[in-house]
Amino acid sequence: MLTAADCFDTIPFMETFLTDTPTKISSLQKNLEKIIKGKPQIIKQAITALIARGHLLIEDIPGVGKTTLAHGLARSINCTFQRIQFTSDLLPSDIIGVTIYNQERHGFEFKPGPIFANIILADEINRTTPKTQSSLLEAMNDRQVSVDKITHPLPEPFMVIATQNSLEYVGTYPLPESQLDRFMMRIRIGYPEAAAEKEILLSSSTELQPQRLNPVLSTEEVIYLQTLVDKIKVDDDLVEYILTIADATRKSSMLRLGASPRGAMMLYRAAQAFALVEGRAYCVPDDIKRLSISVLSHRVVAMQGMEEETDVEGIIQEIVDGIEVPL
């Protein structure tokens, strides 16, 4: 097992990287493709979020495999996994953990909650109260939790995959923009293609269960991949491209709120990770362009009358299409 420190400084980056990394990432991809049929791009984006140290928000109607994707990703890595079903009566302590009195030891003791895992599946995150939501989101941002003035670091890697049903309004607490900003990407899975759907139909009941997946990556390997992302070369013109896109969202007459600097930062990092997923040691304009909707659309707010989420994605697409791609 190679560590980042072993690789850099001694061997040229490209060579190390090209021998090892693509096979690891593609094995992860192949593993996920066993249970998510006909959605290779979605899988790529999920992996991108993982190795970019980002959190993922999957938003779609029920039954398209949101949970399966999250679960599958967790299963593919030899790591701890927790699933939290968000309900309106869920309390922050149910996520973070509680401090209880240990009679044997005559002292208070912290009992870690389900958030102390490598991958958290926060199912239907919009069903719980803002108070509970924010406790999760704080943990996502800081990668640590503080209980009774004691800070408990979360394990590495740490990734939250949240799902929410965009069509349900009754009894939901939609995440505010400030909270949404914490997610690196918001993706939609969408309906499968006809051929893929047929395959899903014809497969046996256990075949698509995430439980049957075997881990293909260790946590160390995930951390290694995450360090590799930082080394991905981004040309100056591409940085300009990112900034131009972010700026264009702020200036667009169709958007009430444009992308934040964090949005640009996330796009930069996501593009680096996506390049690595694609097996490249450098970014190309396509990485940025392709990710711009996933990374930016949940961070912007459309003008009144265009509230529909799909509209926002359309607007971002339109903006990006109008920006000159570095040649």
> Pick from 260, 286, 117: which is nearest to 183 by CA?
260
> Pick from 166, 216, 168: which is nearest to 187 by CA?
166
The answer to whether 238 contacts another protein (rule: CB under 8 A) is: yes
* Closer Cβ to another protein, 9 or 324, answer by number: 324
The answer to whether 289 contacts another protein (rule: CB under 8 A) is: yes
At its nearest, how many Å lie between another protein and the CB of residue 239?
12
Q: H or E segment at 109?
A: strand 107-112
Among 131, 198, 233, 251, binds another protein (CB under 8 A): 233
Contact criterion met (CB below 8 Å) for 7 and 13: yes
Question: Residues 3-22 vs another protein: string with x where CB under 8 A?
Answer: -----------x--------
Which of these segments, 98-106, 218-226, 260-268, 317-325, binds another protein (CB under 8 A)?
317-325
**Peptide bond just before 285 cis, omega within 30 deg:** no
Contacts of 297 (CB under 8 A, 6+ apart): 186, 309, 312, 313, 316
* Closer Cβ to another protein, 61 or 325, answer by number: 325
* Maximum pairwise Cα distance, the chain: 69
The answer to whether 230 contacts another protein (rule: CB under 8 A) is: no
At its nearest, how many Å lie between another protein and the CB of residue 102?
57
At its nearest, how many Å lie between another protein and the CB of residue 221?
24
Q: Hey, what are 48's tokens? A: 């991108």
At its nearest, how many Å lie between another protein and the CB of residue 235?
5
At its nearest, how many Å lie between another protein and the CB of residue 7?
18
d(CA 116, CA 100): 17
The answer to whether 240 contacts another protein (rule: CB under 8 A) is: no
At its nearest, how many Å lie between another protein and the CB of residue 61?
29
The answer to whether 284 contacts another protein (rule: CB under 8 A) is: yes
- C-alpha pair distances (Å), 252 with each of 11, 178, 238, 242, 243: 45, 20, 21, 15, 14
Phi, psi of 99 (to 5 degrees): -105, 125
At its nearest, how many Å lie between another protein and the CB of residue 121?
33
Which of these segments, 57-65, 154-162, 189-197, 314-322, binds another protein (CB under 8 A)?
314-322
The answer to whether 194 contacts another protein (rule: CB under 8 A) is: no
d(CA 300, CA 284): 24
Which of these segments, 128-136, 172-180, 230-238, 255-263, binds another protein (CB under 8 A)?
230-238
The answer to whether 295 contacts another protein (rule: CB under 8 A) is: no
> Pick from 55, 50, 119: which is nearest to 84 by CA?
119
d(CA 304, CA 319): 18
Contacts of 106 (CB under 8 A, 6+ apart): none
Q: Please give the residues from 263 up to 282 whose contact with another protein meets the rule CB under 8 A.
A: 280-282
* Closer Cβ to another protein, 75 or 280, answer by number: 280
d(CA 313, CA 18): 34
CB atoms within 10 A of CB 84: 23
Total residues contacting another protein (rule CB under 8 A)? 21
Which of these segments, 50-58, 103-111, 158-166, 233-241, binds another protein (CB under 8 A)?
233-241
Contact criterion met (CB below 8 Å) for 73 and 50: yes
Among 9, 104, 148, 321, binds another protein (CB under 8 A): 321
Please give the residue ranges that form the binding site for another protein (CB under 8 A). 14, 233, 235, 237-238, 280-286, 289, 320-327
